[in-house]
Chain A
C-alpha cells in the first residue's frame, strides 16, 4: 500500500528566507507525486506535480520540487518565502489507473516578519 510521510508538522520561516518542506513516500512502482497548498477555509490548490522525466519540477508561486528515487523523497522548495505563503502544505502520491490520492498529514508553514 502506498503511503506518504511529512515529518514536520509545523515549520516557521522568516520572510525572505528559503524554505524546504520534506516528503517521503512509499510506493511499489514509479509514483505520481503532488504538492498541494491549503489556505485557511479553502480547498486544495495544486502547486506542482511529477509524473516522469526531469526530476526537478517547477510549479506555481515560485515553488519547485525534486524527485529523488533513491531516497523516496519529493521535497518542496522555495528560495524566498513571502508572508502570503503561510498555509498548510500537503504532499500526495497517486497511482496509475486508479486515480485516488494518498496524502501526507500536512505541514503547517508559519512565516515570521
Chain B
C-alpha cells in the first residue's frame, strides 16, 4: 500500500513569490494535515482538511491557505513568500475525523521550501 506522497521534494522561490505544495493521502484516508518544520521552531500545525472542508487552522497568517480536492488530495499555498517561510512542510493523512477517538496520522517525506 502506497504511503503519503508529497511533491515537489524541493522548491526554491524568491521573496514575494507564491509556492504551491501538493499532498496525496493514503488510499481510504479522508483527512489531510499540514505541518511546518522550521529551524529552531520545531513542528507546528498549519491546517487540517477533512471531507473537503477546513476543520482547524494553526497560528499562521492568512497567506498560508490550502484546499482539499474531491479525491482527498490537498494543496498548500503560501503567498507573498518571506524568508522565514523556509522550512520542511510535512503532510499527514488519517482516516475520517472521529468525535470520540483519535485516528493515527501517517506522514509523508515532506517538501523542502527554500525562500531566497
Q: Which residues of A contact B (CB under 8 A)?
A: 32, 36, 41-46, 49, 51, 90, 92, 94-106
Residues in chain B near residue A45, CB distance under 8 A: 107
Count of chain B residues near A, Cβ 8 A:
30
A-B contact count (CB 8 A): 63
Q: Which residues of B contact A100 (CB under 8 A)?
A: 33, 45, 48, 56, 58
Write the residues of chain B forming the contact surface with A, with a CB cutoff of 8 angstroms.
4, 31, 33, 35, 41-45, 48, 55-56, 58, 90, 92, 94, 97-110
CB–CB A42/B102 < 8 A: no
CA of A106 to CA of B44, assembled, Å: 12
**Residues of A contacting B48 in the complex (Cβ-Cβ under 8 angstroms):** 99-100
A97 close to B98 (CB less than 8 A): yes
In the complex, what's the smallest C-beta–C-beta distance from A76 to chain B, in angstroms?
16
